[in-house]
Structure 1
Amino acid sequence: MRRLAAAAGAGLLALAAPALAQPRETLTIGISQYPGTFHPNFEAMAAKSYVLGFARRPITAYDATWRLTCLACESLPTLENGGAVRETTPDGKPGIRVTYRLRADARWGDGRPVSAEDLRFAWEAGREPATGIGPADFYRSAYELIVEDQRTVTLRYDKVTFEYNSAGDFQPLPAHIERARWQADPRAYRNRTAYDTETTNPGLWSGPWRIAAVQPGAGVTLERNEAWAGPVPAFRRIQIRTIENTAAMEAQLLAGQVDMVAGELGLPLEQAAALERRTGSRFRFEYKPGLVYEHLGLRLDNPILSDRRVRQALLLAIDRGQIVQRLFDGRQPVADTGVNPLDVMHDPDALRWPHDPARAAALLDEAGWRPGPDGIRRNAVGERLSVELMTTAGNRGREAVLQVIQGMWRGAGVEARIRNEPPRVLFGETLSRRRFQGAVLYAWISAPENVPRTTLHSEEIPSEASNWSGQNYGGYRNPAMDALLEALPRELDRERRRALWSQFQRMFAEDLPELPLWFRADAHVWPRWLEGVRPTGHLNPSTLWAEEWRAR
């Protein structure tokens, strides 16, 4: 694998004709995390989604107006236009068939057409449990894939959902490169995929750029994809630098070593706001509220955290309003559940847990945790009420939050032991393989009206048997929640679905499978000469439309 090379400037034109402005051929972007893998279907990590947004085009995505659109397909299939048709499944259940036709000009970087066979391979790999591709429920439901012709496939589902025409994470994989690797050993495929062993192979990439070089842990270089048939990107080269320490990221921005900081993975809001106050009009700043949910994920098979009274007490002991005001200038609304007030299904009447130290103490007393001589509570056998607390190392905002929570919990008699890890380790190993023991501060980024089955359903708990697919890292098990998560997507009537969403939010707020903190606003920092970047505020990153970016 080649090492990341420093970008060469494009100054020959300027030397030949001094009166002309020097063209900008390279855009250098700072992000705070490095992808744990470059395979599109393993590990749901924002850094990977951001980078691959330059190099791939999924079938469908939600745009900056939160509207579902086609990217790799010709048109969005609907019940109205006949692209989707209700039917009865072979075992007599209500089902639906949805037909996607790929764009005629879609090409992999080696010139091969993106074809129905690439979708068939992705579906076959996803259907095989040993592969460990998520979300598993999609592949269980899509019980048949029919190749209609070289560019057209029909998926048959064993249930009808309001998301029936969203392809989500189902996207083509280059069968001519990956199929043989997968067939050799489906369980070992995730460790031998060309996406990680031959990342610079042009045939892996179908977007406006292709990955040309990687420096593990430090950066990615993308070059213009000559096989791309869409609008010609303004930049010949995109350089992405991973700077896990946000103070160092700010320093590199000020020194001109990076042109912009990606809002999806950049500076904490309060750090960006302070930078804007200091630098005035040097950069463009945009603070984009979105479906980004900061929370404390909990290891629920930890005996301490398995007690709902303890979880409720831990949340009551955190003064989230004070943290938001002190650290985030009041710009981030406190969360009661994972459903954002910006989402149409948010219930403003959901149960709330305001800061209440007295009630927190009463719940801990009831759960059998009594104050010890050093102020830390102990149970009947003398065990300390101690919780390991983790987040992404180098993120100044999150590290500050943990220190504040540590102090607030100590006031309630709870010992918090902080142990942070680099993002690629925390997300690539610790969370995905359930190696944490206490609480982890991180964010879920969702699509509009996203049913959180993959994070809360008991079938989505990662395990060695499932090759670590699924995102229910905490191990939450609740049959009533499982039933609700299964019923929600099947309700096509919006108002009846709203009632189910309200039920979900009440159940979540009572049970607290994770501790909701606040909804994040992302701080995007751009150079004045960059135009066309449209933050989405949801799961699909702005880079999916990066061919529209222009330098003036």
Structure 2
Amino acid sequence: MSDMKLARILNRPLSRRQFLRYSAATGIGVSIGAGTMNAWAQGTQGGTLTWLGHQEVAGLGPNDIGPDVQASVIFNVLNPLVHVNYASETEPILARSYEVAPDGLSYTFVLHEGVMFHDGSELTAEDVKYTFETYSEPGNTVASRFNGMREVEVVDRYTARVHMDTVNAAFLRLACEVPIVPMAYHEEVGVDGFRTAPIGTGAFRVDTWRPAEFTELVAFPDHFRGAPLVDRLRLEVVPEPSVRYIALLTGDAQATVWPLSIEDSIELSDNPDFRVIATNWNSPRFIPLNNEVPQLSDRRVRQAMLSAIDRQRILDELESGFGVVASSHLAPHNPFFNPDVPQYPFDPERARSLLEGAGWVEGGDGIRSKDGLRLAFTCTTISGDQTRRPMAELSQIFLRAVGVDMQLAEAPVASILQGLREGNLEASLFNWTHGALVDPSPQSTLRSDGGDNFTRYNNPEMDRLIDEGLTIVDPELRRPIYNRTQEIYAEDVPALMLHYNQGINVFSNEMTGLPDDVLVGTPVFYRGNEYGRG
């Protein structure tokens, strides 16, 4: 911690609790740095905005837009055709206009003219065609967003038309949020090369990228919507919520992409120097279980584990009650939410009965076994995650009480996501959306070939329903389909859904230009070009 920062903190009035929190935080040795200026940094007002995230920024390409912290960086460097914004509205970005055919089998996008990539080349319909056809290929994390797409036609230099083999009701709001890449440069460096050195049309370009430390962006003065207000945008990786809290309090940061602890968020909500935006999250806190692991492959075991965990207690004690226990892969505020699914209230006796019925017998050490296999597995949590690690620890205690041994480990988030996708990890605990407000389809998480199928879940009926749901546009005709997907999910329990929490983003009043009415928190961070440093 620098002398300047120490002086700043000492010159500001702090409560005893804040001082103790600060003392603990500085002992961790995290420093919020300041970048150096260069010729690219040409914001109209100047200064640097510093945001805080809890996880590393593992990549900067289209395949990396899933985690919120990564998306908050990527969408300031790369732009999509359209965005689902903070008001949950579909907002054109690179597209000046778009038209969906009445039969849903084609989408026509007219681009803004004169949009420049960071390398000085102009955006054209060829770049749209190349992006969609490249990232729809199997093996890409975002490939399932393009389900039903046949080809992309270049109508003219600034018009692209997507032709579909089948209707995909989620196409506009999912596939068309995949950011557009420059064809010539991307062909040169490839998918892997691009995610480490991206070139986009965004208001900022990448200056420094240190995945586990920080990512610093500098203003792109030729951005098509006008030069951004600040010279630099910096995302600091700070896993510890207590340290993020102190960085906001001392003025070392102006916003936190990933929430603080509920306690600290509530405290700052009463501080006139901050603005707090609370939203209901669409992504549950959940424990994805590798359904291919022998001891986790029987749904009776997974049902028993869900019955064994006192999820309301976890919510009350670790989230101060801010949220609701999960019963579905869709959040309770989702218009497609189905409350009439099998429920799993806290019931250790039911858990023991299910396990015994499945042939798992308690041993002398209290842990169950079957055919020589112990009912044990490892849950790998995100390194430094002080918010969700205690949820895993409490779940571990509940599971141990019914004879299930859940060991705990830690790893960086990128390693966890890769390990789950490849089937090399047994379990984890984080947040992920399984159907959003903008579209309820869980195609990427629950379809057997989904890019984010972290549980290795495979149910042919679920696959069929997901495919059918995407071919229907009318919401009321889709409703029975997603009612059934939620029933199946509750029956199969591919993961241990804990709860849907309320997300609270904290912004310093030093960050100016924030929107007034926010329904969805993360997209606020996609608009770095609109914010100043007051």
TM-score (norm 2): 0.86
- Worse-superposed segment, 522-531 or 25-34: 522-531
Contact 2:336 2:440 in 1 (8 A): no
Aligned to 2:34: 6
Contact 2:109 2:161 in 1 (8 A): yes
Aligned to 1:118: 127
Contact 1:35 1:47 in 2 (8 A): yes
Q: Distance in 2 between matches of 1:395 and 1:229?
A: 38
C-alpha deviation, 1:367, in angstroms = 0.8
C-alpha deviation, 1:528, in angstroms = 2.1
Amino acid at match of 1:112: S
Aligned to 1:454: 444
Q: Distance in 1 between matches of 2:321 and 2:147?
A: 43
Q: How does 1:36-47 map to 2 (within 5 A)?
A: 36-42=58-64, 44-47=66-69
Of residues 467, 471, 474 in structure 2, which corresponds to 1:490? 471
- Worse-superposed segment, 387-396 or 353-362: 387-396
Of residues 260, 269, 282 in structure 1, which corresponds to 2:262? 269
Helix, strand or coil: the match of 1:419?
Answer: strand
Aligned to 1:18: none
C-alpha deviation, 1:62, in angstroms = 1.1
1:525 partnered with 2:506:
yes
Amino acid at match of 2:483: S
Q: Distance in 1 between matches of 2:47 and 2:126?
A: 35
1:418 partnered with 2:408:
yes
Q: Distance in 1 between matches of 2:301 and 2:263?
A: 31
C-alpha deviation, 1:502, in angstroms = 1.0
Q: How does 1:136-155 map to 2 (within 5 A)?
A: 136-139=143-146, 141-155=148-162
Contact 1:110 1:227 in 2 (8 A): no
Q: Describe the shift of the 1:223–1:302 C-alpha distance in structure 2 as closer, same or farther (beyond 3 A).
A: same
Helix, strand or coil: the match of 2:294?
Answer: coil
Amino acid at match of 1:175: M
Uncovered stretches (5+) of structure 2, i.e. residues with no partner? 1-31, 39-44
C-alpha deviation, 1:293, in angstroms = 1.7
CA offsets, 1:409-460, max 9 Å, x none? 1111111100111223323x323333202x2111113532231111111123
C-alpha deviation, 1:160, in angstroms = 1.6
Amino acid at match of 1:150: R
Of residues 62, 81, 86 in structure 2, which corresponds to 1:64? 86
C-alpha deviation, 1:149, in angstroms = 0.8
Q: Distance in 1 between matches of 2:521 and 2:146?
A: 20
Q: Describe the shift of the 1:136–1:453 C-alpha distance in structure 2 as closer, same or farther (beyond 3 A).
A: same
1:544 partnered with 2:522:
no
Q: Distance in 2 between matches of 1:403 and 1:259?
A: 32
Of residues 296, 311, 328 in structure 1, which corresponds to 2:319? 328
Q: Describe the shift of the 1:539–1:36 C-alpha distance in structure 2 as closer, same or farther (beyond 3 A).
A: farther
Aligned to 1:108: 117
Q: Distance in 2 between matches of 1:140 and 1:41?
A: 16
Amino acid at match of 1:267: L
Helix, strand or coil: the match of 1:458?
Answer: coil
Aligned to 1:180: 188
Contact 1:304 1:385 in 2 (8 A): yes
Q: Describe the shift of the 1:60–1:43 C-alpha distance in structure 2 as closer, same or farther (beyond 3 A).
A: closer
Aligned to 1:214: 209
Uncovered stretches (5+) of structure 1, i.e. residues with no partner? 11-22, 79-83, 87-94, 183-188, 461-469
1:511 partnered with 2:492:
yes
Q: Distance in 2 between matches of 1:127 and 1:322?
A: 42
Aligned to 1:171: 179
Helix, strand or coil: the match of 2:323?
Answer: coil
CA offsets, 1:283-328, max 9 Å, x none? 3222221212211111011111110100000000011111111111
1:471 partnered with 2:452:
yes
Aligned to 1:399: 389
Contact 1:295 1:441 in 2 (8 A): yes
The percentage of counterpart residues that share the same residue type is 26
CA offsets, 1:358-378, max 9 Å, x none? 111100110111222222222
Q: Distance in 1 between matches of 2:271 and 2:136?
A: 53
Contact 1:145 1:153 in 2 (8 A): yes
Q: How does 1:197-346 map to 2 (within 5 A)?
A: 198-199=197-198, 204-262=199-257, 265-273=258-266, 275-276=267-268, 280-346=271-337
Amino acid at match of 1:432: R
C-alpha deviation, 1:499, in angstroms = 1.4
Q: Describe the shift of the 1:432–1:37 C-alpha distance in structure 2 as closer, same or farther (beyond 3 A).
A: farther
Q: Distance in 1 between matches of 2:230 and 2:322?
A: 34
Root-mean-square deviation (CA, aligned residues, Å) is 2.4
Contact 2:81 2:179 in 1 (8 A): yes
TM-score (norm 1): 0.84
Contact 1:30 1:266 in 2 (8 A): no
Helix, strand or coil: the match of 1:75?
Answer: strand
Q: Describe the shift of the 1:142–1:161 C-alpha distance in structure 2 as closer, same or farther (beyond 3 A).
A: closer
